Amino acid sequence: MLWETLLRVLVSGIANGAIYASVAVGFSIIYRSGKVFNIAQGEMLMLATFMAMTFFGMGMNHWVALALTATAMGLLGLGVERFVLRPLVGQSEMALFMATLGLLLVLNGLGVIMFGTEPRLFPDVLGTERWLVGTVSIKQSAVLGTALVAGSVAGLAWFFRSTRTGLFMTAVAESHQIARSLGVNVQRSIGLSWAIAGVVATISAAAFMSGRSVSPEIASIAFVALPVVLLSGLESIGGVMLGGIIVGVGQSMAAAWLDPYTEGGASLLFPFALMMLILLFRPQGLFGWKRVERI
């Protein structure tokens, strides 16, 4: 009985953790290559989801629709760099953060205006089968989605560690000034990171929304992904997978064992309590660069 509960908690925790990781990786890509903390990452996920649904609604093949969405989201990322961030080059990190808060308002409002607030069903793109492991049933879409996210996170980690472009982008995160004087195109690096984040948002939409009913409120997933990215460290790309699993499993444990006593509050509060603890005791996270400003 305990083992069955534990297995169920693990399965749902890892699947949820992968969602958080897929959003968190968007945070760390953008932070790692431009020192911009994009609080509007959840809104990008929401836009990608609804854009894909619009394309599905036109009767397109699922994969064509997803490819189109990825292109559009990439262009959106480039547009954000061009019209919001480029004019703010050289401003403080806080000004950039507040600009992404403005972006959050804009994208959220646009999403609600264009797609309405009523929940809609996202089509099954990753299959509907369920597998039984012991007594616990596992959805095929969750397994495929988790694998897809794990694959893309691994690919991105490799890209940032081992390719020339990825290393250039890492250099930009270290210091705009020095990167530029060494001949790195800072603007292109930031633009590219935003485009990648847009594509990643499409991947996470495809991986996790299939078969669910979605409304613009799914954007708030990003706030639960905040502790994930803080836990793994803002600059670490591979680490978000581990961070996501820790947060996801912790949350489903809280849901399984604490929620009955707290009216469902424990699982909602867990990520934020964890976030406060991380910020207090290890702000650079598990794998981040130790650069947090102290007084």
Partner 1 sequence: MYRACGSFSETYSDDMALMRTRWQWLALAILMVGLVCYPLVASSGWIRFATITGITIISVLGLQILVGLTGQVSVGQSAFMGIGAYFGAIAAMKFHMPFPLPILVGATGAAIVGVLFGLPAARIKGFYLALTTLAAQFVFQFTIVRLPDSWFGGSAGISVAPPVIFGVQINSTVGFYYLTLPFTVLAVFAALFIMRSRVGRALISVRDNDLAAEVTGINVIYYKVAAFGLASFFAGLAGGLLAYENKLAHFEQFTLFESIWYLGMLIVGGMGSILGAVLGAVSLRFVQEILALVSPRMAELLPGARYDIAFPMINVVLGVLIIVFLIYQPRGLAHLYRRGERYARVWPFPY
Its sign, for the CA torsion 61, 62, 65, 70, is negative
Which amino acid is located at 41 in the chain? Q
Least separation in angstroms between residue 214's CB and partner 1 is 17
Question: Binding to partner 1 by residue 106, rule CB under 8 A?
Answer: yes
Greatest Cα-to-Cα distance within the chain, rounded to the nearest angstrom: 62
Nearer CB in complex with partner 1: 244/271: 271
| Window contacting partner 1 (CB under 8 A); options: 12-20, 54-62, 102-110, 141-149 | 102-110
Q: Binding residue for partner 1 (CB under 8 A) from 1, 2, 113, 132?
A: 113
Applying CB under 8 A, does 29 fall inside the site for partner 1? no
- Our finding on whether 283 is near partner 1 (CB under 8 A) is yes
User: Residue 27, SS3?
Assistant: helix
Residue 292: helix, strand or coil by DSSP? coil
Cα(10)–Cα(165) distance, integer angstroms: 37
If one asks whether residue 293 binds partner 1 (CB under 8 A), the answer comes out as: yes
Which run of H or of E encompasses 287?
Answer: none
256 binds partner 1 (CB under 8 A): no
Site string for partner 1, 70-89 (x = CB under 8 A): --------------x--xx-
CA distances from 191 to 64, 82, 121, 240, 246 (A): 24, 7, 32, 22, 31
67 touches partner 1 by CB under 8 A: no
By CB under 8 A, how many residues form the interface with partner 1?
A: 46
Q: What is the enclosing helix (H) or strand (E) of 132?
A: strand 130-133
Regarding 104 and contact with partner 1 (CB under 8 A), the answer is: yes
Binding of residue 101 to partner 1 (CB under 8 A): yes
By CB under 8 A, the residues from 214 to 233 that bind partner 1 are 223, 226, 230
Query: Which one of 57, 119, 260, 265 is in contact with partner 1 (CB under 8 A)?
Result: 265
Strand 120-121 to 136-139 pairing: unpaired
If binding is defined by CB under 8 A, does position 108 make contact with partner 1?
yes
Is residue 100 within 8 Å of residue 44, measured between CB atoms?
Answer: no
Partner residues linked to 137 by β-bridges: 132
* Site membership for partner 1, residue 98 (CB under 8 A): yes
Complex with partner 1: residue 149 or 190, whichever CB lies closer: 190
In terms of DSSP H, where are the helices of the chain? 2-32, 41-57, 62-80, 93-115, 140-162, 164-174, 176-181, 186-208, 221-232, 239-253, 259-262, 265-281
Instruction: Please report, as ranges, the residues that interact with partner 1 according to CB under 8 A.
Output: 37, 84, 87-88, 91, 93-95, 97-99, 101-113, 116-117, 223, 226, 230, 262-265, 268-269, 272-273, 275-276, 279-280, 283, 292-295
